[in-house]
Amino acid sequence: MTTSISIFDTTLRDGTQGEGISLTAEDKLKIALKLDALGVHYIEGGNPGSNSKDIEFFRRAREMNLRAKLTAFGSTRRKNSNCEQDVNLKHLIESKASAATLVGKSWDFHVHTALQTTLEENLAMIYESIAYLKRHQMEAVFDSEHFFDGYKANPEYALSALAKAKEAGADWIVLCDTNGGTLPTEVHEIVTKVCSVIDANIGIHTHNDCELAVANTLAAINAGARQVQGTINGYGERCGNANLCSIIPTLQLKMNYSVVSDEQLKSLTSVSRYVSEIANMVQPVNQPYVGNAAFAHKGGIHVSAILKDSKTYEHISPELVGNKQRVLVSELAGQSNILSKAQELGLDVDAISKSRDIIERVKELEHQGYQFEGADASLELLLRDASGNEESAFTIESFKILCEKSEANMVTEAIVRVRVNGQQVYTIAEGNGPVNALDNALRKSLVQFYPSIADIHLTDYKVRVLDEKDATAAKVRVLIESSDFNDTWSTVGVSSNVIEASWEALLDSIRYALLGKKSSGSLEQWPESVGLSNH
Amino acid sequence: MTTSISIFDTTLRDGTQGEGISLTAEDKLKIALKLDALGVHYIEGGNPGSNSKDIEFFRRAREMNLRAKLTAFGSTRRKNSNCEQDVNLKHLIESKASAATLVGKSWDFHVHTALQTTLEENLAMIYESIAYLKRHQMEAVFDSEHFFDGYKANPEYALSALAKAKEAGADWIVLCDTNGGTLPTEVHEIVTKVCSVIDANIGIHTHNDCELAVANTLAAINAGARQVQGTINGYGERCGNANLCSIIPTLQLKMNYSVVSDEQLKSLTSVSRYVSEIANMVQPVNQPYVGNAAFAHKGGIHVSAILKDSKTYEHISPELVGNKQRVLVSELAGQSNILSKAQELGLDVDAISKSRDIIERVKELEHQGYQFEGADASLELLLRDASGNEESAFTIESFKILCEKSEANMVTEAIVRVRVNGQQVYTIAEGNGPVNALDNALRKSLVQFYPSIADIHLTDYKVRVLDEKDATAAKVRVLIESSDFNDTWSTVGVSSNVIEASWEALLDSIRYALLGKKSSGSLEQWPESVGLSNH
């Protein structure tokens, strides 16, 4: 019989204290639905006492019938006052959330310096505020702020704060490493002590200032804590809160705790990405468990081994958390990476494996600055050429770019000369920059032959100056991501001229699109040509 | 007397196995210099046996007289072979590095499945390869791959692999959690066991697949390990290696170990940023210790408290690692920063503070994508304009750029029309790209009036696409670093047109140079004009 751990999600409250994160009430409601489906036990939605958009959140969330307990956040009553007159406490009750969290001081330094009150008054603030919540039938969670620093400075006082909360009826006593500076061995020792002297349900709330938030959480669980407070993707003040996307799978898959169902665990990767989209944050590629590269293998030896058995270089099966294995082709690739890629594309693997040239060619291009890892479509074109597929949908004869700036006006035009099925097409187009103009001109010339080109739009454009110390003479690498509503593909170009590098990537993108994009092992037929275009 | 911990930096080897990271030999040499200044003890530069650019790295690095020990990476000899005929081992010797790391199998599963050989042959491979290195007077580091998984599966075999390496003379025995799936309690237990049965210098090499690489490293140190293998910013395969930027300060500031000097520790933030720039990776804003938000306070209560005493919400003083405190309250912080900058420049602070416009202007520009933090010279020009210094050394009337590509030929020319002291100067110049051509044309037009311009050269050129989702229509930020052998300054430009953005940064650079560069509170007089130039 496995032990259950309660997951207390504070993405919508503590998470929003991270730099660059700002969620509307609508954002919070969308995220709350996803969190509920994931199976967290508490959703701390915000602070209705200090934030009117949170009042709206609680009002609308109540109607969503979530399984998780909606929780409102606030602090102990103001000093030298009473609960009935405390506006913030009133808002907590009015939120009609199932539970409320009260943060209160347990570090004497904070009581004196930040609150500027007496140790006794602080204990009264804790006692009375928790009792107030209980009188109003709310589940009460006491967040003991700076508990570990407080315990190190004055253990008796810190413990007395917990005892007061317990006495008043707190349902959970949560020990917070608010400054994020405590070590796992210290957390284990202190939580063990707390569990031995306070008879209560203990929770843990850590911060990542030493990159130890997850470890500190696990140490506390080992010492007897049964609630984990954290956020999706570790969002939060400064270096963030404990990352639930790392904690949940570790507790469940490696420590034999019962947290969420196996099905819910499989949704972890998509929940992580969903929340990062809504929060407009980039999900780090190398994020544990759920990142795009969490199960991506680059070194040739690694790839060769995982093709024999994934357990050689994967600590869990990616599918358990809804992620997948990827093989990266780069300069570090051995033959295995390239062959496996070719196989994936349905190409003639024998032809490729007989040619050591292709591997040398890839390495040589990478040495010049090409990066095929992030440019799958360019790599596919290279492999197709190597396996003998050499037909071309069009050829470029020349292009010209004119930029003219005078006073406040900046005009950019591109002229492109293209040959399709023996016909020459000469086109001019404007753009708001040289690359945008080239893109417009190229597609304008080809769309009459290949109507599907009208659906293609560029969704991402990255420029990297290689060897920046060569300054404006340096080589530049351009990575382009294109999309046609069904499919997305990436291409690369390298040159000391940013226009030429962009051009190369653009051409690859179009060529790839005209392959039909999906690899079927044969090229699609092109439609009849329609005639010359002079504009 | 504090205990020393040896830092073994593998940013240039294991770090490059992370997705999106590709370093040229030149990049590696630049980073090696910074690592050496930081005070790491070993710099693992690459794998000369499988990568020709690493052969170049070791050749050139030898001449740099680094204090750190240059280390070459390879693996134990091929099965059923001998060391003298092993090409990879030969490359290690030829690299003339001080030390060499050999990775060898200690997990029986890997011996059977990945290597497809016998347990005895694997032990022979370990023994003979280490002995071979010792015969060639190299320091030998044995990386025991998958040690923790191997120990859990077959502890006797795993320990025998270590014993063999030790017997052959290995100077360090490093326990690797290659798959990144081990827990800190397990690491502590296993390392304790190893230290009790093997009499050797023990090292630890962890991976971040559970977000526990740092914690596992510290657990190993607690159990007796004395060498830490990791990378700057935690770069590495899949979720990355142990992050030295989190480990070094934690060991030194919280665990009383001796790692680097206090001065060197203060360079940590700048080393982290430097390496991320060279690797073209974005340094996460919330990275522990060194991230831009590591000491950034947003919550109103937090800010109010830290203004009383930083220790209320900071676990260490940011200056110890070269970082700084930031207050994320926009209006308030903005005014202080700007006024303090103006004071620093000796400008009329009253004039500036009376004009709320300048603060709004800076915020508005930052909102559009300008980043004055990395472009001091542009900020100074802005402040000078605001404090009434409005004279101009020259004005631009217009420019034109022509790029023409046909077959293999790419020609780029820029034409610039400039007015200096009432005289119009019309100049054309070539370049190997539009920005290079503009740079050449602009300086060609001005050098006859301002001979000192001949000394200016661009030393750094960075392009960042802001809002990449707008693809080729996205705004671009260009940062330029210029130098004239005495002084170095940075300028910025933003536009949806990369040419225009670069132009803006170039102009600011020249304008700044013609201010005399050093702020004296007054503008320098310009020399007599010399006449028109037609080319």
DSSP string of B63-98, one letter each residue: TT--SSEEEEEEESPPTTS-GGG-HHHHHHHHTT-S
pLDDT band for position B108 (cuts 50, 70, 90): very high
Angle at the Cα of A198 (from A197 to A204), degrees rounded to 5? 115
Does B98 score more than 50 pLDDT?
yes
- Lowest-pLDDT range, A175-179, A329-333, B381-385, B528-532? B528-532
pLDDT at B284: 86
- The whole-angstrom distance between residue A495's C-alpha and the CA centroid of its chain comes to 32
The whole-angstrom distance between B115's CA and the closest CA on chain A is 8
Residue of B444, B41, B16 whose CA lies nearest to A328: B16
Tell me whether 0.85 is exceeded by the ipTM.
Answer: no
Interchain pair A434, B433: CB under 8 A: no
The tally of CA atoms less than 13 A away on the side-chain side of residue A351 is 11
pLDDT band for position A432 (cuts 50, 70, 90): confident
Q: A420 forms bridges with which residues in the sheet?
A: A423
pLDDT at A520: 24
Give me the residue from A282, A401, A433 closest to B403, CB to CB: A401
Q: Going by C-beta distance under 8 Å and a sequence separation of 6 or more, which residues neighbour residue B63? A: none
Tell me the per-residue pLDDT of B236-289, one tens digit each, with 9 for 90 and over: 999 999 999 999 999 999 999 999 999 999 999 999 988 987 887 778 889 999
Q: How far apart are CA A114 and CA B302, in angstroms?
A: 9
Question: What is the dihedral angle through the alpha carbons of B29, B35, B38, B39, rounded to the nearest 10 degrees?
Answer: -110
Q: How far apart are CA A111 and CA A102, in angstroms?
A: 16
pLDDT at A389: 64
Q: How far apart are CA B11 and CA B18, in angstroms?
A: 10
pLDDT band for position B331 (cuts 50, 70, 90): very low
Q: Which of A218-222, A378-382, A491-495, B13-17 has the highest mean pLDDT?
A: A218-222
pLDDT at B24: 86
pLDDT band for position B469 (cuts 50, 70, 90): low
Does A353 score more than 70 pLDDT?
no
Does B526 score more than 80 pLDDT?
no
CB-based contact B150:B107 (threshold 8 Å): yes
- Residue B430, helix vs strand vs coil: strand
Residue B132 tokens, joined: 């071979």
Interchain pair B184, A215: CB under 8 A: yes
Does A532 score more than 60 pLDDT?
no
Q: A396 forms bridges with which residues in the sheet?
A: A418
**How far apart are the two ends of chain B, measured CA to CA in Å?**
70
Does B163 score more than 60 pLDDT?
yes
Tell me the per-residue pLDDT of A463-522, one tens digit each, with 9 for 90 and over: 776 765 556 667 888 888 887 767 778 899 998 888 889 899 999 999 998 885 322 222
| B498 contacts chain A (CB < 8 A) | yes
pLDDT band for position A355 (cuts 50, 70, 90): low
Interchain pair B209, A289: CB under 8 A: yes
Question: How many CB pairs below 8 Å do chains A and B form together?
Answer: 341
Backbone angles phi and psi of A501, in degrees to 5: -65, -40
pLDDT at A525: 32
Does B435 score more than 90 pLDDT?
no
Distances B276 to B12, B266, B520 between C-alpha atoms, Å: 12, 17, 35
CB-based contact B260:B36 (threshold 8 Å): no
CB-based contact B499:A403 (threshold 8 Å): yes
CB-based contact A7:A248 (threshold 8 Å): yes
Interchain pair B313, A178: CB under 8 A: yes
Q: Which residue of A has its CA nearest to B402?
A: A402
The whole-angstrom distance between B524's CA and the closest CA on chain A is 27
Q: Where are the alpha helices (DSSP H) in A16-154?
A: 25-38, 52-62, 87-94, 108-113, 119-135, 147-153
CB-based contact A469:B459 (threshold 8 Å): yes
Q: How far apart are CA B277 and CA B267, in angstroms?
A: 15
Give me the residue from B312, B432, B462 closest to A113, CB to CB: B312
Can you tell me the mean pLDDT for A448-453?
88
Interchain pair A406, B397: CB under 8 A: yes
Residue A299 tokens, joined: 């070194």
Residue A32 tokens, joined: 């709350």
Q: B491 forms bridges with which residues in the sheet?
A: B480
Does A411 score more than 60 pLDDT?
yes
CB-based contact A22:A16 (threshold 8 Å): yes
- Lowest-pLDDT range, A278-287, A361-370, A429-438, B111-120? A361-370
Q: Which residue of B has its CA nearest to A111?
A: B312
Interchain pair A496, B22: CB under 8 A: no
Can you tell me the mean pLDDT for A76-84?
96
Count how many residues are written for chain B. 535
Does B189 score more than 50 pLDDT?
yes
Residue B357 tokens, joined: 């416009």
User: Mean of the per-residue pLDDT values for chain A?
Assistant: 87
pLDDT band for position B203 (cuts 50, 70, 90): very high
- Which of B210, B218, B292, B479 is the best mutation test for A, with the most CBs of A within 10 A? B210
Q: How far apart are CA B37 and CA B48, in angstroms?
A: 24
Can you tell me the mean pLDDT for B42-57?
92
CB-based contact B284:B268 (threshold 8 Å): no
Q: How far apart are CA B45 and CA B34, in angstroms?
A: 13
pLDDT band for position A369 (cuts 50, 70, 90): confident
pLDDT band for position B528 (cuts 50, 70, 90): very low
pLDDT at A518: 29
pLDDT at B337: 58
- The whole-angstrom distance between residue B15's C-alpha and the CA centroid of its chain comes to 12
**How far apart are the two ends of chain A, measured CA to CA in Å?**
75
CB-based contact B235:B281 (threshold 8 Å): yes
SS3 sequence of A138-182: CEEEEEEECHHHHHHHCHHHHHHHHHHHHHCCCCEEEEECCCCCC
Count how many residues are written for chain A. 535
Backbone angles phi and psi of A284, in degrees to 5: -60, 135
pLDDT band for position A421 (cuts 50, 70, 90): confident
pLDDT at A383: 84
- Percent with pLDDT over 70 in chain B: 86
Tell me the per-residue pLDDT of B355-374, one tens digit each, with 9 for 90 and over: 567 767 776 777 677 766 56
Tell me the per-residue pLDDT of A308-338, one tens digit each, with 9 for 90 and over: 888 888 999 999 999 988 887 765 566 667 7
- Lowest-pLDDT range, A358-372, B113-127, B218-232? A358-372
Residue B498 tokens, joined: 């990369």
Higher-confidence residue of A362 and A40: namely A40
Interchain pair B461, A457: CB under 8 A: no
Interface of A with B in 295-334 (CB under 8 A): 295-302, 304-305, 308-309, 311-316, 328, 330-332
CATH architecture, range A6-260: Alpha-Beta Barrel (3.20)
Supply the DSSP symbol for A517: S
Name every chain B residue with its beta carbon within 8 A of the beta carbon of A500.
405, 410, 433
Interchain pair A237, B471: CB under 8 A: no
Look up the pTM and report it: 0.77
Q: Going by C-beta distance under 8 Å and a sequence separation of 6 or more, which residues neighbour residue B336? A: none
What residue segments make up the domains of chain A, in order of their start? Answer: 6-260, 296-386, 395-520
Residue of A467, A429, A36 whose CA lies nearest to A260: A36
CATH number of B395-520: 3.30.160.270
Can you tell me the mean pLDDT for A294-302?
84
- Lowest-pLDDT range, A162-171, A408-417, A476-485, B49-58? A476-485
- E strand intervals along B146-244: 172-177, 202-206, 227-230
Higher-confidence residue of A280 and A263: namely A263
Can you tell me the mean pLDDT for B318-336?
67
